Amino acid sequence: MTLNPVPLDPRTLPGPVWIVSPHPDDEALGCAALIAALTDLDREVHALLVTDGGFSHPNSPSFPRARLAQSRLSEWRAGLAALGVPETRTHALGLPDGALDRVDPADMGREVGRIFAAAPPATLLLPWRRDPHPDHRAAWGPVWGAAPPATRRLEYAVWLPERGDANAWPTAQEARVWSLAVGAARSRKAQAIAAHATQLGGISDDPHGFTLAPEMVERALNGPELFFEAFVQAVPAAQEATTT
Protein backbone atom coordinates (compact mmCIF):
# COMPACT_ATOMS: atom_id res chain seq x y z
CA MET A 1 0.00 0.00 0.00
CA THR A 2 1.55 3.30 -1.15
CA LEU A 3 0.29 6.18 0.98
CA ASN A 4 2.75 9.10 0.55
CA PRO A 5 1.90 10.62 3.94
CA VAL A 6 2.58 14.24 4.83
CA PRO A 7 4.18 15.01 8.23
CA LEU A 8 1.58 16.23 10.73
CA ASP A 9 2.41 19.29 12.82
CA PRO A 10 0.47 19.01 16.11
CA ARG A 11 0.61 22.80 16.46
CA THR A 12 -1.90 23.08 13.61
CA LEU A 13 -4.61 21.23 15.56
CA PRO A 14 -6.89 23.59 17.50
CA GLY A 15 -8.37 22.77 20.88
CA PRO A 16 -10.41 21.50 22.51
CA VAL A 17 -9.21 18.18 21.12
CA TRP A 18 -11.28 15.05 21.69
CA ILE A 19 -9.81 11.55 21.44
CA VAL A 20 -12.47 8.89 20.93
CA SER A 21 -11.69 5.24 21.63
CA PRO A 22 -14.21 2.48 20.99
CA HIS A 23 -12.15 0.31 23.39
CA PRO A 24 -9.61 1.03 26.11
CA ASP A 25 -6.14 0.89 24.46
CA ASP A 26 -7.20 2.05 20.98
CA GLU A 27 -5.77 5.51 21.58
CA ALA A 28 -2.60 4.12 23.20
CA LEU A 29 -1.90 2.04 20.10
CA GLY A 30 -3.08 4.47 17.45
CA CYS A 31 -2.35 8.03 18.55
CA ALA A 32 -0.49 8.17 21.88
CA ALA A 33 2.43 10.14 20.44
CA LEU A 34 0.04 12.77 19.11
CA ILE A 35 -1.78 12.96 22.45
CA ALA A 36 1.55 13.49 24.23
CA ALA A 37 2.50 16.20 21.75
CA LEU A 38 -0.82 17.97 22.21
CA THR A 39 -0.67 17.96 26.00
CA ASP A 40 2.92 19.22 25.82
CA LEU A 41 1.51 22.13 23.80
CA ASP A 42 -1.02 22.76 26.61
CA ARG A 43 -3.96 21.91 24.36
CA GLU A 44 -7.20 21.10 26.17
CA VAL A 45 -7.48 17.36 25.49
CA HIS A 46 -10.51 15.26 26.40
CA ALA A 47 -10.96 11.51 25.94
CA LEU A 48 -14.15 9.55 25.36
CA LEU A 49 -14.41 5.78 25.79
CA VAL A 50 -17.36 4.28 23.92
CA THR A 51 -17.59 0.67 25.17
CA ASP A 52 -17.10 -0.93 28.57
CA GLY A 53 -14.20 -3.06 27.27
CA GLY A 54 -15.68 -6.06 29.06
CA PHE A 55 -15.71 -8.65 26.29
CA SER A 56 -12.00 -9.39 25.89
CA HIS A 57 -12.04 -12.39 28.29
CA PRO A 58 -15.62 -13.69 28.38
CA ASN A 59 -14.69 -17.03 30.00
CA SER A 60 -12.46 -15.77 32.81
CA PRO A 61 -13.70 -16.89 36.26
CA SER A 62 -11.51 -14.34 38.02
CA PHE A 63 -12.57 -11.44 35.82
CA PRO A 64 -16.34 -11.54 35.30
CA ARG A 65 -17.55 -8.82 32.99
CA ALA A 66 -18.25 -6.18 35.62
CA ARG A 67 -14.80 -6.57 37.20
CA LEU A 68 -13.08 -6.61 33.81
CA ALA A 69 -14.93 -3.50 32.68
CA GLN A 70 -13.91 -1.63 35.83
CA SER A 71 -10.29 -2.78 35.45
CA ARG A 72 -10.18 -1.68 31.84
CA LEU A 73 -11.62 1.72 32.68
CA SER A 74 -8.89 2.20 35.29
CA GLU A 75 -6.23 1.04 32.82
CA TRP A 76 -7.53 3.46 30.19
CA ARG A 77 -7.37 6.39 32.59
CA ALA A 78 -3.88 5.40 33.76
CA GLY A 79 -2.65 5.21 30.17
CA LEU A 80 -4.08 8.62 29.38
CA ALA A 81 -2.55 10.09 32.53
CA ALA A 82 0.85 8.96 31.26
CA LEU A 83 0.17 11.05 28.16
CA GLY A 84 -0.90 14.12 30.12
CA VAL A 85 -4.70 13.77 30.06
CA PRO A 86 -6.16 14.12 33.59
CA GLU A 87 -9.00 11.91 34.80
CA THR A 88 -11.26 14.96 35.00
CA ARG A 89 -11.16 15.13 31.20
CA THR A 90 -12.05 11.48 30.64
CA HIS A 91 -15.58 10.38 29.85
CA ALA A 92 -17.04 6.87 29.42
CA LEU A 93 -20.28 5.78 27.78
CA GLY A 94 -20.09 2.15 28.98
CA LEU A 95 -21.78 0.66 25.88
CA PRO A 96 -21.44 -3.10 25.32
CA ASP A 97 -18.04 -4.17 24.03
CA GLY A 98 -18.42 -6.48 21.03
CA ALA A 99 -22.00 -5.42 20.37
CA LEU A 100 -21.98 -1.79 19.22
CA ASP A 101 -23.70 -2.83 16.01
CA ARG A 102 -26.76 -3.63 18.14
CA VAL A 103 -26.88 -0.16 19.71
CA ASP A 104 -29.18 2.31 17.99
CA PRO A 105 -26.88 4.75 16.13
CA ALA A 106 -29.16 7.70 16.84
CA ASP A 107 -29.11 6.97 20.57
CA MET A 108 -25.33 6.62 20.51
CA GLY A 109 -24.97 9.88 18.62
CA ARG A 110 -27.14 11.75 21.09
CA GLU A 111 -25.11 10.44 24.03
CA VAL A 112 -21.83 11.41 22.37
CA GLY A 113 -23.22 14.85 21.52
CA ARG A 114 -24.31 15.35 25.12
CA ILE A 115 -20.77 14.69 26.31
CA PHE A 116 -19.18 16.83 23.59
CA ALA A 117 -21.40 19.76 24.61
CA ALA A 118 -19.31 20.37 27.74
CA ALA A 119 -16.33 21.39 25.56
CA PRO A 120 -17.28 21.27 21.86
CA PRO A 121 -14.42 19.75 19.88
CA ALA A 122 -12.43 21.88 17.48
CA THR A 123 -10.40 18.77 16.60
CA LEU A 124 -11.74 15.22 16.76
CA LEU A 125 -9.61 12.06 16.61
CA LEU A 126 -11.48 8.79 16.03
CA PRO A 127 -10.59 5.45 14.45
CA TRP A 128 -10.62 5.26 10.66
CA ARG A 129 -14.10 4.57 9.30
CA ARG A 130 -13.06 1.20 7.82
CA ASP A 131 -10.68 0.14 10.56
CA PRO A 132 -11.20 -3.65 10.60
CA HIS A 133 -13.02 -4.06 13.88
CA PRO A 134 -16.86 -4.15 13.96
CA ASP A 135 -17.11 -1.87 16.99
CA HIS A 136 -14.82 0.72 15.36
CA ARG A 137 -16.99 0.79 12.26
CA ALA A 138 -20.22 0.94 14.27
CA ALA A 139 -18.96 3.86 16.36
CA TRP A 140 -17.68 5.92 13.45
CA GLY A 141 -20.92 7.42 12.12
CA PRO A 142 -22.48 8.41 15.46
CA VAL A 143 -19.22 9.94 16.73
CA TRP A 144 -18.52 11.77 13.47
CA GLY A 145 -22.03 13.15 13.31
CA ALA A 146 -22.07 14.32 16.94
CA ALA A 147 -19.24 16.83 16.44
CA PRO A 148 -19.95 20.41 15.33
CA PRO A 149 -19.78 20.85 11.54
CA ALA A 150 -16.64 23.01 11.70
CA THR A 151 -14.69 20.39 13.67
CA ARG A 152 -11.47 19.20 12.08
CA ARG A 153 -11.67 15.41 12.01
CA LEU A 154 -8.63 13.13 11.81
CA GLU A 155 -9.15 9.36 11.72
CA TYR A 156 -6.41 7.18 13.18
CA ALA A 157 -5.35 3.64 12.35
CA VAL A 158 -5.56 0.88 14.96
CA TRP A 159 -6.09 -2.52 13.32
CA LEU A 160 -5.67 -1.32 9.74
CA PRO A 161 -1.96 -2.23 9.33
CA GLU A 162 -2.53 -5.71 10.84
CA ARG A 163 -5.87 -6.75 9.38
CA GLY A 164 -6.90 -4.30 6.70
CA ASP A 165 -7.26 -5.48 3.12
CA ALA A 166 -6.89 -3.17 0.13
CA ASN A 167 -10.52 -2.06 0.35
CA ALA A 168 -10.16 -0.97 3.98
CA TRP A 169 -7.46 1.60 3.27
CA PRO A 170 -8.36 5.11 2.06
CA THR A 171 -8.04 5.89 -1.60
CA ALA A 172 -6.02 8.86 -2.85
CA GLN A 173 -9.31 10.56 -3.78
CA GLU A 174 -10.87 9.92 -0.38
CA ALA A 175 -8.49 11.33 2.21
CA ARG A 176 -5.21 13.09 2.82
CA VAL A 177 -2.76 10.93 4.78
CA TRP A 178 -0.78 12.45 7.64
CA SER A 179 1.97 10.79 9.66
CA LEU A 180 3.59 11.53 13.00
CA ALA A 181 6.87 9.97 14.08
CA VAL A 182 6.73 8.48 17.57
CA GLY A 183 10.25 9.75 18.24
CA ALA A 184 10.86 11.08 21.74
CA ALA A 185 7.33 10.11 22.79
CA ARG A 186 8.19 6.40 22.56
CA SER A 187 8.70 5.94 26.31
CA ARG A 188 5.38 7.64 27.14
CA LYS A 189 3.58 5.66 24.47
CA ALA A 190 5.12 2.46 25.88
CA GLN A 191 3.91 3.44 29.35
CA ALA A 192 0.40 4.11 28.01
CA ILE A 193 0.26 0.70 26.31
CA ALA A 194 1.73 -1.07 29.34
CA ALA A 195 -1.09 0.35 31.48
CA HIS A 196 -3.45 -2.11 29.73
CA ALA A 197 -2.23 -5.13 31.68
CA THR A 198 -5.41 -7.15 31.14
CA GLN A 199 -4.70 -7.08 27.40
CA LEU A 200 -1.04 -8.03 27.75
CA GLY A 201 -1.35 -11.43 29.38
CA GLY A 202 -2.51 -10.22 32.78
CA ILE A 203 -5.52 -12.58 32.73
CA SER A 204 -4.42 -16.21 32.60
CA ASP A 205 -7.61 -18.18 33.23
CA ASP A 206 -9.30 -17.68 29.86
CA PRO A 207 -7.28 -19.56 27.21
CA HIS A 208 -9.34 -18.00 24.45
CA GLY A 209 -9.19 -14.46 25.80
CA PHE A 210 -7.68 -11.60 23.83
CA THR A 211 -4.01 -10.66 24.13
CA LEU A 212 -2.25 -7.95 22.16
CA ALA A 213 0.36 -9.54 19.92
CA PRO A 214 3.92 -8.42 20.68
CA GLU A 215 4.36 -7.66 16.99
CA MET A 216 1.44 -5.23 17.06
CA VAL A 217 2.77 -3.49 20.15
CA GLU A 218 6.21 -3.17 18.56
CA ARG A 219 4.73 -1.79 15.35
CA ALA A 220 2.77 0.77 17.35
CA LEU A 221 5.88 1.82 19.27
CA ASN A 222 8.02 2.08 16.15
CA GLY A 223 5.43 4.16 14.33
CA PRO A 224 4.74 6.28 12.53
CA GLU A 225 1.20 7.03 13.61
CA LEU A 226 -1.11 7.43 10.63
CA PHE A 227 -4.05 9.82 10.35
CA PHE A 228 -6.55 10.19 7.53
CA GLU A 229 -8.35 13.46 6.85
CA ALA A 230 -11.30 12.97 4.52
CA PHE A 231 -11.63 15.50 1.71
CA VAL A 232 -15.42 15.45 2.28
CA GLN A 233 -16.14 16.40 5.90
CA ALA A 234 -19.92 16.19 5.63
CA VAL A 235 -22.01 14.57 8.36
CA PRO A 236 -23.05 11.04 7.28
CA ALA A 237 -26.64 11.14 6.01
CA ALA A 238 -27.76 8.48 8.48
CA GLN A 239 -26.50 10.60 11.37
CA GLU A 240 -28.02 13.97 10.43
CA ALA A 241 -30.97 13.37 12.75
CA THR A 242 -28.67 12.97 15.77
CA THR A 243 -27.35 16.52 15.38
CA THR A 244 -30.71 18.25 15.08
Q: Are 206 and 199 in contact (CB under 8 A)?
A: no
Query: Each residue of 139-171: b (16+ CB within 10 Å) or e?
Result: bbbbbbbbbeeebbbbbbbbbbeeebeeebbbe
Distance CA 15, CA 152 (A): 10
Q: Are 50 and 158 in contact (CB under 8 A)?
A: no
Summarize pLDDT for 54-88 with one digit per residue, the tens.
999 999 999 999 999 999 999 999 999 999 999 99
The reported pLDDT for the residue numbered 77 is 98
Residue 173 host element (H or E): none
Other beta carbons less than 10 A from residue 56's beta carbon: 25
Q: Are 174 and 128 in contact (CB under 8 A)?
A: no
Summarize pLDDT for 94-119 with one digit per residue, the tens.
999 999 999 999 999 999 999 999 99
The reported pLDDT for the residue numbered 234 is 62
CA distances in angstroms from 89 to 86, 117, 119, listed in the order given: 6, 13, 10
**Three-state secondary-structure class, residue 205:** coil
Q: Is 222 exposed, middle or buried (0-12, 13-18, 19+ CB in 10 A)?
A: exposed
Question: Which stretches in the chain have pLDDT values below 50?
Answer: 238-244
